Amino acid sequence: MIKLGIFIIPNQQLKKVILKFKKIVQNQFGNQTYLKHLPHCTLYVFETSKKNLQEIKKIRHLKYKTNKLFFTKNTNIFLNDPITKKNTYTIDINKNSFLTNLQIQVLKKFGKYSRKRKIKFPSKRMQNNYRLYGYPFIKLNWRPHFTIASISLKNNQSDFIKKFRNYRVSYKQSLNNIYEYRIRGNKHNLINKIKIWLIDLFA
């Protein structure tokens, strides 16, 4: 089995902000969960058989009918994140109809290759999502964001929490591509670029 992720990669301007915060976390708290991950927003993560990889690589484009813009919203902290049992710091993205439909298209293209394990999730909806797609964070359970790091509760974070919450992040990005990575622990290896084609409704 191999693990694959379909990601949105931030533009250079937003990437600089994310890397800036990662450096601050490294300097203040040392190595933390997600800190070494490349800046990205996850659309879909799934496990699949290695024999499916060549077929999956043939998926090279998605068609779309509307503009391809998304906007960052603000900084956010998942206090005592149920996944990591730590405080997870993120830059949230405004979840518009483009992103919602983009994730649905990704699920339609890649979901059939997913292989599931026996995993329990904290809600029936997440459990059902995983049963259908091999990933719990879809549709209503998906909060698109760029993760900075997940910091251990053993660290005193009170000052950092105040500064992080007060930081204003306002960026927009037009999305022409999404990216497929193979995931091995903290390592993410690019295996494919998937173009988003805008359909001209008046052509």
CATH number at residue 78: 3.90.1140.10
**Mean pLDDT across the stretch 166-188?**
92
Domain count along the chain: 1
Question: pLDDT band at 82, cuts 50/70/90?
Answer: confident
Q: Does pLDDT of 152 surpass 90?
A: yes
Q: Which amino acid type is present at position 53?
A: L
d(CA 24, CA 35): 10
Domain membership of residue 183 (yes or no) is yes
Tens digit of each residue's pLDDT (9 = 90 or more) over 113-122: 999 888 888 8
Domain membership of residue 118 (yes or no) is yes
Question: pLDDT band at 200, cuts 50/70/90?
Answer: low
**Domain of 183, in residue numbers:** 2-198
Q: What is the mean pLDDT of the chain?
A: 92
Domain membership of residue 203 (yes or no) is no
Domain membership of residue 50 (yes or no) is yes
